[in-house]
Structure 1
């Protein structure tokens, strides 16, 4: 967004996009494990509108509009943002096993494809991606030059997710791990999410070439190693909803660490040695859901500093 507004943008990243947490995400649009509620709704709906437009080119962008059911969900349990979701309604008995749930047609994003598209869009706007580990925000700041040849900048946007815990440092950001199982799709063309319990939840998302099964939400768990017993339980819970999943061939396993915080940190801060940081992290389990709304606000904060 900054590059397309005409700013010189250089992205520093320890990992390539395909090895980040974003690449693991099941990526169904829905405000999940993110606060503050009074801001999340606007960010989410702004992003929804962008994804609706991108869904017109799914092969290019990786975004599709897909129908599905949130079992156990109730309209009166949602925030004001729900009124802005076209067609969101109570599920019928035929659509929901328990008889109570929500039906919706929502953006579902194939993240490997979407990340490639985003990288190409950044490059087309003149942005540059440079690999490298950042150990200090101050080392990136140059209070004079917009972006200089050695990779320092007048404004640094800190989008480090869970890495902000050490980099800022901010102990308020912590991991909530999610394990997924990828299987051959036995013919499922709708998404599903079930209620959470102590043992985990059941959800599945039909993505190109695979069905993504989940999942878990283990707080303060730093492990990214898949647990075979957890994987078996995930398949079992999903097969209880769609029996054909039980015999689907397993293609792989994934674990991602959601960067959860009591509230998203989106603010501009002056560095002691000069320069500015726009902190932009703590999006929990809804990074994709709020991506475009948060990016617009972050870009506005950068421009407020540079005008």
Structure 2
């Protein structure tokens, strides 16, 4: 049961919402690789190749990455016990590809990563970074997901202070947060209980809310660290764009292939369950005094590089076109919640918040 606490009158620091949407690097667009029904984590044999699929985690890729990588390692370990293969190709240089490659190196395999994008160009690098199981479907995979969640969280928590960009932080929200509630439901005791507050401790806030304790994983630190470690271990990064499944199976010399292509799997493996979900992010200058995460009709994640405000939620859109006006509206809306701007009517886009989060089991129908 959640514990109760009467909130003190003191406020936590208020963000500086000064924002120029036309300045370089202040707006970011990413596309979440959501898969209807469930993420895909299984294996098949095709054209003499053993292919492990690890994709479709929506907005929970970083969150689940180490847990999924451990499952990939288990699948491959069983295979090589029989096949005695010594080389493996990993497709994709996002967080799923990098963490899978890291775990496969532990098996003594020669690992090569093939990708048409560098890690810093992937959607993973654009993620906000809160550790929460959000925007992912897992129909029929509840038991598997429990283990993945536990392994992922434990691995991230054990890396705090070791240069991976992971920290433990409070998250404040006006409503219960499904991504964290699902963790507490599936793996009781993994996260501290949420705390009920009689008032959120911020300027401009008078209503009740909740405090969670979770992790912040900073992609601009985490992904480059994984890349450096892999290169230091002899892993090659090969620029490569595959056009078809046949291209993958016939052009690679490796008999072991781990498919971490995210949205690319829709085309490469004809996976029509893949649904792009576009999100816009506004990037404010870093503000070291902010030591909390915040969620209310959008989210705000203060990181060491930026204060990230997001995120919009446009299903069936794979556009990576920057929309400065949308980012400006996100900032204005968030500022209004802290009493720093007048309330605004948000534009046509959907805001990613608890009432429309695509964390489903079974999955919800898609509406566009």
Q: TM-score scaled to structure 1, two decimals?
A: 0.68
Counterpart position of 1:123 = 231
CA offset at residue 262 of structure 1? 8.2
Matched, 1:225 2:328: no
Name the residue aligned to 2:336.
Answer: 240
* Per-residue deviation, 1:88: 2.8
- Whether the 8 Å CA contact 2:165–2:219 is kept in 1: the answer is yes
Matches within 5 A, 1:154-233: 154-186=255-287, 187-194=289-296, 201-233=297-329
Pick from 198, 203, 218 the counterpart of residue 110 of structure 1. Answer: 218
Q: Which position in structure 1 is the counterpart of 2:240?
A: 132
Residues 194-218 of structure 1 show CA distances to partners (whole Å, capped at 9, x for unaligned) of: 2xxxxxx321001113100011111
Distance 1:28 1:216, change over 3 A: same
CA distance in 2, matches of 1:53, 1:174: 33
- 1:116-157 per-residue CA deviation (whole Å, 9 max, x = no partner) reads 111122223332211111123343447xxxxxxx84211111
Structure 1 residue 85, shift from structure 2 partner: 2.9
The number of equivalent residue pairs is: 234
The CA distance in 2 between the partners of 1:77 and 1:86, in whole Å, is: 9
- 1:28, distance to aligned residue in structure 2 (A): 0.6
- Change in Cα spacing, 1:243 to 1:261, as seen in structure 2 (3 Å) is closer
Alignment-derived partner of residue 192 in structure 2: 87
User: Shift in Å at residue 14 of structure 1?
Assistant: 0.1
Tell me, yes or no, if the aligned pair for 2:285 and 2:305 is still in contact at 8 Å: yes
RMSD: 2.7
Aligned equivalents of 1:87, 1:176: Cα separation in 2: 30
Alignment match, 1:63: 166
Maintained 8 Å contact 1:45/1:81: no
Residues 198-257 of structure 1 show CA distances to partners (whole Å, capped at 9, x for unaligned) of xxx3210011131000111110112211223311221122113334699xxxxxxxxxxx
Quick one: distance in 1 between partners of 2:119 and 2:340? 33
Q: Does the CA-based 8 Å contact 1:176-1:218 persist in structure 2?
A: yes
1:19 equivalent to 2:121? Answer: yes
Q: How far has the Cα of 1:43 moved from its partner?
A: 1.5
In 1: Cα distance, 2:224 partner to 2:295 partner: 27
The aligned residue for residue 73 of structure 1 is 176
Q: What is the CA–CA distance in structure 2 between the aligned matches of 1:211 and 1:158, rounded to whole Å?
A: 32
1:18-59 residue CA offsets vs partner (Å, 9 max, x unmatched): 0110110001110101121614333222111111011122xx
Q: CA deviation at 1:62?
A: 1.4
Which residue of structure 2 lines up, in the alignment, with residue 257 of structure 1?
none
Structure 1 residue runs of 5 or longer lacking an equivalent are 143-149, 195-200, 247-259, 264-307
2:189 and 2:146 map into 1 onto residues whose CA distance is 9
Paired residue secondary structure (2:197): coil
Q: Give how far 1:104 is off.
A: 2.1
Q: Secondary structure of the residue that 1:161 maps to in structure 2?
A: coil
State how far apart, in whole Å, the 2-side matches of 1:81 and 1:262 are. Answer: 13
1:52 aligns with 2:157: yes
TM-score, normalization: structure 2? 0.58
What displacement does 1:72 show?
0.7
CA distance, structure 2, for counterparts of residue 168 and residue 53 of structure 1: 35
Task: Flag the 1:171–1:262 CA change in 2: closer, same or farther, 3 A.
Answer: farther
CA distance in 2, matches of 1:158, 1:100: 41
